[in-house]
Structure 1
Amino acid sequence: MSKPQVLMQMWKPYREFLIQQHCFYVNEANTRLMSQFDNINADADKAAEAWLERRGELFDPDRDDEGAIYEEAESVAIEFYRQLDEMREQTRLSVVAGMFHAWEKNLKKWIVDELRRWGLGSRAIGAVWGADFPKIMELLVSLGWPIQGQSYLAVLNQCRCVINIFKHGDGKSLAELKRDFPKYLIDPVNPKFDLPATEIEWLNHSHLQVTEAQAQEFSEAIIEFWKNVPENLYEQDGGEPPSWLMKAVDQDRKASNG
């Protein structure tokens, strides 16, 4: 019996490089970006003090109410904190987006580099680069990797939804998030994860929020994904390639024969 041919390989040093690259990004993002928001309470107090100092230069004891001025300074602190908190949430989402897009691009590059050795043409290569998350997972299954049902894949799918909403606003991903993962939609008036369906329906992309723990969970899912890529995927292990890829392969064949 002939030995089955290896269709795709995950070279151990390359696997380690991908994981190291991801960990570097996450660690540096936390050190250089997220750490700047560690003391926003103190930053808000400093903003209020600076405002009070500027206001004090114009203080007129005959006309000004000192109590009212201190109340206004407190409002300055509250608004400064609110804006910093919003910036922190947007920065965390940006970090998660960068992390996810890097993983997705590295995954497609690995697939393309491996399949290119089998003579895939430009249309097939373009189809892989243009495929969305479900299509890429479908392709991996057809190549012999039974990835369905893995917990890290479910987390990556949640991350995909979150990033699509962060990037595009309301749309299909928001509807999916409301239906399946409402924990990422936080109503500031009623910040509970168990909102009734009628209340969830009113939420939109502006209510998207990812906690530090959730961002860490996304990161760990990416690491688990790379750790679990099979070292070898054999030609006989896979099923029928997805129709979207075979259509592109057929177009390449016709172009080369035409």
Structure 2
Amino acid sequence: MTTTYVLFQMWGPFRQSLIDGHLFYVEQARKRLLTQFENIEAEADKASDDWLKDNSHRFDPDRDDPGSFYEAAGESGIEFYRLLSDMRDQTQLSVVAGMYHEWDKQLRDWLVAEVKRWHRGDMAPEKIWKANFSDLADLLEGLGWKIRNTGYFKLLDACRLVVNVYKHGKGTSLDDLKQSFPEYLPDPNAGTRLAWASIDFLDHTDLKVSDVQFQAFSDAIVSFWKDVPENISEPDVTSVPAWFEKAILKDRAEKAGAK
């Protein structure tokens, strides 16, 4: 009787702890951070009223135009709204970035821990930590998990690009986001005659993630963890990417040379 060796295992309680931890992060981020921006219209109105109160001593009815005074107060409220709206967008993006990076680290931690159960050496774990998103997808696909055909993979890829653009601004990720996921670069002048004719005119300063998109990213991470195969055995492995195979072979060669 042939023994089938399990190379990667996702233990049920561990899987649930990953999902629970993620959902806790999302829930608390909404509760402690994002809900603070739910009433920015009312806060902008208050800022306008506060401007009037703070500057009422400067108003001279014999010399000043009341209309201009109220217009200045309105402009103060508009500027307050703009700044607070920008802060809300940046906070949303920072929450998305934290969520994505935590998922990314947990995935690499799990892969490394499972590899260390049947392999000795530092090169393979090091390469897993250095691998980019596409490299990791190649590894998972080689293990028999065809994730590239799933909806959650496309969302995770979009989330990766959004986070890279948020962190680095202009660059390859911005170009890729424009090409593959332009919905995260909404035209601020959409619906007006000032709307840009092409997405080429938009850049990292236009990056935004709506509440619906944020939830979609969160759901994608949950779907990913739910879909991790419980057991990946030797017969499931169709192939492994060259970078991983070379790392494994180098570790084995170093181990053999040390004997």
Give TM-score, length-normalised by structure 1. Answer: 0.94
Residue 215 of structure 1 aligns with an amino acid whose one-letter code is F
Q: Give me the whole-angstrom Cα distance separating, in 2, the residues matched to 1:199 and 1:120.
A: 53
Alpha-carbon RMSD across the aligned residues, in angstroms, is: 1.6
Of 245-254 and 156-165, more deviation after overlay is shown by 245-254
1:169 equivalent in structure 2: 169
**8 Å contact from structure 1 (residues 144, 234) kept in 2:** no
Question: 1: distance between equivalents of 2:191 and 2:99?
Answer: 27
- Show the counterpart of 1:244: 243
State how 1:215-230 maps to structure 2 within 5 Å: 215-230=214-229
Aligned to 1:52: 52
Correspondences of 1:88-107 after superposition (within 5 Å) = 88-107=88-107
d(CA) in 1 for partners of 2:252, 2:227: 33
Q: Which amino acid aligns with 1:76?
A: S
Say which SS state the counterpart of residue 16 (structure 2) adopts. helix
Q: Distance in 2 between matches of 1:2 and 1:254?
A: 27
Query: In 2, Cα distance between the equivalents of 1:38 and 1:96?
Result: 18
CA contact 1:145–1:230 (8 Å) conserved in 2: yes
Change (3 A) 1:128 1:120: farther
Cα–Cα, structure 1 residues 93 and 6, in superposed 2: closer, same or farther, change >3 Å?
A: same
The alpha-carbon deviation at position 191 of structure 1 amounts to: 5.8
Are the structure 2 counterparts of residues 166 and 181 from structure 1 closer, same or farther at C-alpha, using a change threshold of 3 Å? same
Q: Return the offset for 1:29.
A: 0.2
Which residue number corresponds to residue 10 of structure 1?
10
Could you tell which deviates more after superposition, 106-115 or 171-180? 171-180
- Greater shift in the superposed pair: 9-18 or 131-140: 131-140
Q: Deviations over 1:5-56 (max 9, x none)?
A: 1111000000000000000000000000000000000111111111111110
- Relative to 1, partners in 2 of residues 1:252 and 1:68: Cα closer, same or farther, differing over 3 Å? same
- Unpaired stretches in structure 2, ≥5 consecutive residues: none
8 A Cα contact 1:9 1:233, kept in partner: yes
C-alpha distance in 1 between matches for 2:146 and 2:153:
11
Instruction: Note the C-alpha offset of 1:107.
Output: 0.5
- Report the Cα offset of residue 235 of structure 1: 1.1
Cα displacement string for residues 141-188 of structure 1 (whole angstroms, at most 9, x for unaligned residues): 112222220111111111111111111111111111111111111121
TM-score normalised by structure 2 residue count: 0.94
Structure 2 Cα separation of the partners of residues 24 and 215 of structure 1: 15
Aligned residues: 255
User: Given residue 8 of structure 2, which amino acid in structure 1 is its aligned partner?
Assistant: M
Structure 1 SS opposite 2:148: coil
What is the Cα deviation at residue 84 of structure 1?
A: 0.7
> Which residue of 1 is the match for residue 73 of structure 2?
73
Cα distance in 2 for partners of 1:113, 1:186 equals 41
The alpha carbon displacement at 1:129 in A equals 0.7
What corresponds to 1:37 in structure 2?
37
2:222 maps to amino acid: I
Moved more, 236-245 or 128-137: 236-245
Q: Could you tell me the percent identity over the aligned residues? A: 48
Q: Which moved more, 1:209-218 or 1:137-146?
A: 137-146
Partner in structure 1 of residue 200 of structure 2: 201
